[in-house]
Structure 1
Amino acid sequence: MKKDDLKELAINLPKKPGVLGRDRFFNSAVLIPLIKIKGEYYILFQKRAAHIRQGGDICFPGGKFEEGVDKNFKQTALRETKEELGIGKKDIKIIGQLDTYVAPIGAVIESFVAVVKKRALKTMNIDKNEVEKTILIPLSFFKETKAEEYTLSHEIQPYRYNEEGEKEVLFPVEELGLPDTYKKPWGNKRHKIWVYKYEGEVIWGITSVIINDLLSKY
């Protein structure tokens, strides 16, 4: 490396580091809607329609960042909230953003905290193709309730068997001359899962991770 190459490298280094390899992940954004009712703040959740991916899960309004449609992740969160719940920008005041979350499932989530006007509850227009219903839960419930804790594990699979029982090699360990340890599943990385139960509904996964991060801020 020559001196000029080093200078060019220094110039091209990011001024504000982001997420390495972000374009390989599912990039998304969610809105955390806080609504003040009779002096107490509630979180507005939605339950995903049963027939869609991850149907029946409790989550925040949000979705995939659309290249060419969204200028930034904040716009993604606002657009998805409008599409799913019919709540427009005029009733939403974003007060800040949580840290970027890179989930084990290969998704990057940007979470925006917002105060939503109470009147939006009356003017909501839920997209029934995506949302079964909305749920209001007092913020104090999460502050005062200890979540149940479990663990899940993720294994890296260098091969798999198809429906006919034939072995499909996904990563050619032998051809690449890699150590034998990679010829069988490896990793088995465990991560913690938090579960909240509220009036018959179960809140877990990415949603509970975001909730816990929100609770740590006050």
Structure 2
Amino acid sequence: MTTIEKISQSLKKTKKQFHTINKAAVLIPIISIKNQLHLLFQVRSKKLKWQPGDICFPGGRVEVTDDSPEYTAKRETFEELGIPIDQITILGQLPKFIASLGMIIYPFVAKIESLDNLLLNQDEVESVFTVPLEWFINHQPKQANMLVGFKPDDNFPFELVPNRTANWQQKSQHDVHFYQYDNFVIWGLTAQIINSFISTIKSNTQL
């Protein structure tokens, strides 16, 4: 028999899972090169099944053992690029993003001290490169639209849902940003995060 006590125990067991499910964090690494601030990017390994060869910031899913999304961003940066956590100085956090598949993304801006001792995880990262921050300040991203559609499968019970037919589908539109720097194309969520970051510093400082 289901009781209030059993319900309470079940919810306690899943509390930690709900805290981490569908959450991820990324780090926006800033480094000074010849007295000029640069953003550090990584090119995803072609071995990966998800978005191989794309350009992104270090980051990944929030794990149950992570104290916070901020720690996730630091941990993933260490695991992917070999930058020690104690050499990552968090400068602040941008507003969270909700990706097209419902993943909540927490972006953190951080200062890193050096690129001298990078140790790339070859299973995840093919290479890294930097782009001057001023370049993003002076260049607006190109924009396009992405349509995301939902349509019922063959086993959808139309008889239970009034006013719906087999041709029923839903669509939503999302803005997609693109930055082209030399031979690199930075797009999608990474470009959206950059655009948010640049807009934030432009609105709060005299650049």
Distance 1:56 1:128 in 2: 12
> What does 1:178-217 correspond to in 2, within 5 Å?
178-180=162-164, 183-217=166-200
1:35–1:115 contact (8 Å) kept in structure 2: yes
Offset, 1:25 = 5.8
2:58 equivalent in structure 1: 61
2:135 equivalent in structure 1: 141
Residue-by-residue CA offset, 1:81-105 (whole Å, 9 max, x unaligned):
0000000122110011011111122
Q: RMSD of the alignment, in Å?
A: 1.6
TM-score of the two chains, using structure 2 as the length reference: 0.83
1:151 equivalent in structure 2: 145
Residue-by-residue CA offset, 1:55-112 (whole Å, 9 max, x unaligned):
1110000001111x21110111011000000001221100110111111222110000
Distance 2:85 2:20 in 1: 30
> What does 1:1-20 correspond to in 2, within 5 Å?
none
1:19 equivalent in structure 2: none
Offset, 1:189 = 1.3
1:25–1:108 contact (8 Å) kept in structure 2: no
Q: CA distance change for structure 1 residues 153 and 185 in 2, over 3 Å: closer, same or farther?
A: farther
Q: Which runs of 4+ in 1 moved over 3 A?
A: 22-25
Distance 2:21 2:178 in 1: 25
2:151–2:170 contact (8 Å) kept in structure 1: no
The residue type equivalent to 1:46 in the other structure is: Q
SS of residue matched to 2:192:
helix
Q: CA distance change for structure 1 residues 80 and 186 in 2, over 3 Å: closer, same or farther?
A: same
Identity of aligned residues (%): 38
Distance 1:198 1:61 in 2: 19
TM-score of the two chains, using structure 1 as the length reference: 0.79
1:132 equivalent in structure 2: 126
Distance 2:162 2:27 in 1: 44
1:113 equivalent in structure 2: 109
Distance 2:164 2:19 in 1: 31
Residue-by-residue CA offset, 1:89-145 (whole Å, 9 max, x unaligned):
22110011011111122211000000111x2x0111000110000010111111111
Distance 1:146 1:212 in 2: 8
Gaps of 5+ in 1: 1-21, 160-167
Distance 2:34 2:181 in 1: 20
Between Structure 1 and Structure 2, how many residues are aligned? 183
